[in-house]
């Protein structure tokens, strides 16, 4: 007796097409993210030259709406300080060095 292989057709497309995010919403989210990132950079460029003198390579956590920032040698402690004052909301974490980044890729 020969056994036949049963081919199951592959489904193409999204698993849940009703949960597709429209391109307008994606564009709006990207614009908000870019604007928030720009505010992080503005605060960072304003305060970093003075802070780098005594706190080089420390972490700085910036709340973009108010412009407040918190610094600490430990990233988690800096985030905790920020969350005490701003429990919800977006914050940006940077490093107090020339580029604001934590390392190289």
Give the DSSP H or E segment for 92: strand 92-95
Query: In the structure encoding, which two tokens stand for residue 15, read together?
Result: 């698993």
Query: How many Å apart are CA 33 and CA 40, to the nearest integer?
Result: 11
Q: What is the pLDDT of residues 36-58, one digit of tens each?
A: 999 989 999 999 889 988 999 89
Residue 102 predicted with pLDDT over 80: no
Which residues 6+ apart lie within 8 Å of 66 measured at CB? 86
Most confident segment among 19-23, 26-30, 65-69? 26-30
Residue 9 predicted with pLDDT over 90: no
Query: How many Å apart are CA 55 and CA 92, to the nearest integer?
Result: 18
Task: State the pLDDT at residue 70.
Answer: 93
Q: What is the pLDDT of residues 64-93, one digit of tens each?
A: 888 899 999 998 999 999 999 999 888 889
Task: State the pLDDT at residue 104.
Answer: 61
Confidence of residue 103 (pLDDT cuts 50, 70, 90): low
Choice among 6-10, 32-36, 63-67, 81-85 with the minimum mean pLDDT: 6-10
Task: State the pLDDT at residue 1.
Answer: 60
């Amino acid at each position: 007796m020969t056994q036949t292989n049963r081919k199951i057709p592959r489904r193409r497309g999204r698993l849940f097409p009703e949960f597709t995010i429209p391109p307008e919403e994606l564009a709006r989210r990207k614009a908000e993210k870019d604007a928030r990132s720009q505010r992080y950079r503005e605060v960072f460029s304003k305060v970093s030259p003075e802070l780098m003198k005594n706190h080089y390579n420390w972490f700085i956590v910036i709340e973009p709406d108010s412009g407040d920032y918190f610094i600490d040698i430990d990233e988690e402690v800096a985030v905790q300080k920020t969350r005490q004052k701003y429990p919800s909301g977006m914050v940006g974490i940077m490093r107090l060095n020339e580029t604001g980044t934590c390392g190289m890729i």
